[in-house]
Amino acid sequence: DEFKNLKGLYKKNVFHNLSFNFGIIRTFFPKKIVDGKIKNLNDDFLKITTKILKSQNINKSFIYHQISNRLAENHRIEKSDTQKYLKEKRQFDYLKAMIFLKFLYELNLIEKNEGKLEVKMENKYEDYFQKHPDFYDADWKKAVFLTGVLAQNVMDIQLRLRGAKPFRSRLNGLKLDHKAIKRLLPESIEKLEQYKENYYRELEEVIALLMESGEPELKTQSVDEISFYFAMGMNLNKKFKTKKDIEGEHNERNN
């Protein structure tokens, strides 16, 4: 009953009809995972579920590590967004990750460190962040998320123009530290200018502001948590494309 009282987690209109269940946890603690060797994570799964049922604290770094591994694995095996199964699998896993973390945050089972939140905005990005304040409670998180949005925009354009996404090689297998995030902003802008398809200058300015504010904290974050926020941005990039962006892309295709 305590779980069912958590706002939003059990309503079917939340997160594309996906509600919390313990099978979601299994996604990130599979019976077997191939990463150089076969490893059985069943014991970890049982320990996590037991701690949840007993309302015991759970190591935040460990949870983000498992989620990051899963998202990175999806990134490695996905050869093309035209492969419908892999695309849907990736998107479904991102939603599961959000629900799993939201569940743990709501029950206060993992540490919640609110960071520096100084940049004030009134735009579509902030509208989204306000809907998920438990996830985006620091400028560095917003900066990393939106850098993921921008990087995916670059790859969408590459796929349309070249039938491939060579920019993927700059993502380090979705294992990103603060230095990688810092370089990805200018690299993304350079590619968009190269293709003469930079419809995202507002987004780039927002990222720069957030990065300036959040960089000191960003430098202290784990690769796993940074990679999670970046991957979430990649997955949700189309959510932020305006009619003007889409028209710009359409006009370029017809020229």
Local confidence band at 168 (pLDDT 50, 70, 90 cut-offs): very high
Work out the average pLDDT over 189-209.
95
Residue 253 has pLDDT above 70, yes or no: no
Residue 82 has pLDDT above 70, yes or no: no
Higher pLDDT, residue 182 or 245 = 182
Count Cβ atoms below 10 Å from residue 9 Cβ, excluding itself: 18
Local confidence band at 15 (pLDDT 50, 70, 90 cut-offs): very low
- Percent with pLDDT over 90 in the chain: 50
Determine the longest span between alpha carbons in the chain, in angstroms.
62
Q: What is the pLDDT of residue 8?
A: 45
Local confidence band at 4 (pLDDT 50, 70, 90 cut-offs): very low
Over residues 202-224, the pLDDT tens digits come to 999 999 999 999 999 999 999 99
Q: What is the pLDDT of residue 3?
A: 44
Residue with tokens 């039938």: 163
Across the chain, what does the average pLDDT equal?
83
Burial class (CB in 10 A: 0-12, 13-18, 19+), 141: buried
Helix (H, G, I), strand (E, B) or coil at 33: strand
Q: What is the pLDDT of residue 228?
A: 95
Q: What is the pLDDT of residue 243?
A: 64
Work out the average pLDDT over 67-93.
71
Work out the average pLDDT over 59-65.
94
Burial class (CB in 10 A: 0-12, 13-18, 19+), 18: middle
The angle at the Cα of 91, spanning 220 to 155, to the nearest 5 degrees, equals: 75
Identify the CA nearest to 241 among candidates 203, 207, 206, 196.
203
Integer Cα distance of 149 and 165 in angstroms: 15
